[in-house]
Structure 1
Amino acid sequence: MKGGSIELGEVSKNASTNKGVKRGLSIMDFILRIIAGVATLASAVAMGTTDERLPFATSFVQFRAEYDDLPSFVFFVLANSIVCGYLALSLILSILHIVRSTAVKSRILLIVLDMVMMGLLAAAASAAASIVYIAHYGNTQANWFPICQQYNSFCERISGSLIGSYIAVALFIIIILLSQSAISRN
């Protein structure tokens, strides 16, 4: 038979290869979602448990630095917690995509929700990063002095939690690109 027609019961090699590629993309999506979930959970826990106290002249007078002293850090913890919960719930659809690699509507839904969550996470990380910058370097024009010389542990933990959050943002970009690639293969 000429012209590339397929006999009954015969599967084209392109269709099976395409299905295998989509399954591979779905497995990669699942793994990246787990890693991003761990990164957001670690960021939320690291920021949420940040607390340092410095004694002043006596043990009765102490200066403290906690994450909930600044609304940007509270927003950061809440946003990371929301995104972590979303990633945990989205694993169900990711498993569905591994089993049924032809599902398109659920992939489109995940892309839209992934972009919303990535925006939320990027906004929270950016807001917290501005406060971390002020904590490290201060602002002489506003007479805000850097506090990281006194509160070393506090600054190390909040800086570390930002790294985890930005890693999750980068993983979201990769997840979105993988999902778009899987949709384009239909």
Structure 2
Amino acid sequence: MASTESKFPQNPPPKTQKIVLGAQIGLRILVIGTALAATWVMLTCRQSTEIIGMTFDARYSYSSTFKFFAFANAVACSFALLSLLFVFFFCRQGLNPSNYYYLFLHDLFMTLLVLAGCAAATAEGFIGRYGNSHAGWTPICDNFGKFCNQMTTSVILSYLSLSFLLTLTITSASKSRQIQVSNSLI
């Protein structure tokens, strides 16, 4: 039976390490950019309209779902920046599989947080656009088109961030599975 050490090379080729490190850095920068843009668009999303002589406002802050969505993207952006600094700090010594395990846990948590925010905002956005006749909710996007379009843009940017985070999670999981089990644990 082959040992664990023979299945995985001890030191991957330097070119492979540089490609993985470059992908980690590039994807983290993309996560920061898309999550920051999604947060900014959501925070600046507002519209006033006059209906039957009365003025109505639509703002993200009127919905706890959209507040959570903005918060989830802001947290993901902040923690992606921290993880980028972590990658830069440990890139001098070389990232070992145990560091990738911590990055995997971090990326998994951020992926789940952004996924929850996207799911919540998508569900509320669907109700805002199409309404729900069974609950008596009427669609608002006929009257607040600019607001709905900005919300849609923010959700799309957040889904892009989610796809980058998912790619980071898969990459970190793949690299972290190379953790060597010591003989004392066997």
Q: TM-score range by the shorter chain?
A: 0.7 to 0.9
CA contact (8 A) 1:47 1:157 kept: yes
The match for 1:75 among 52, 68, 78 is 68
Tell me by how many angstroms 1:178 deviates.
1.7
Q: Which runs of 5+ in 1 are unaligned?
A: 1-13
- Give the letter for the 1:22 counterpart: Q
SS in 1 for 2:142: coil
Mapped to 1, the partners of 2:17 and 2:158 lie a distance apart of 28
CA RMSD of superposed structures (Å): 1.8
The match for 2:29 among 24, 29, 34 is 34
Residues paired across the two proteins, number: 171
Tell me by how many angstroms 1:95 deviates.
1.6
Deviations 1:60-80 (A, max 9, x none): x31010001110000001111
Aligned to 2:183: none
Task: Please give the TM-score of this superposition, normalised by the length of structure 2.
Answer: 0.85
Alignment of 1:1-186 (within 5 A): 18-58=13-53, 61-184=54-177
SS in 2 for 1:55: strand
Mapped to 1, the partners of 2:111 and 2:178 lie a distance apart of 24
CA contact (8 A) 1:26 1:101 kept: no
Task: Please give the TM-score of this superposition, normalised by the length of structure 1.
Answer: 0.85
Mapped to 2, the partners of 1:70 and 1:127 lie a distance apart of 11
Tell me by how many angstroms 1:137 deviates.
0.6
Of all paired residues, the percent bearing the same amino acid is 25
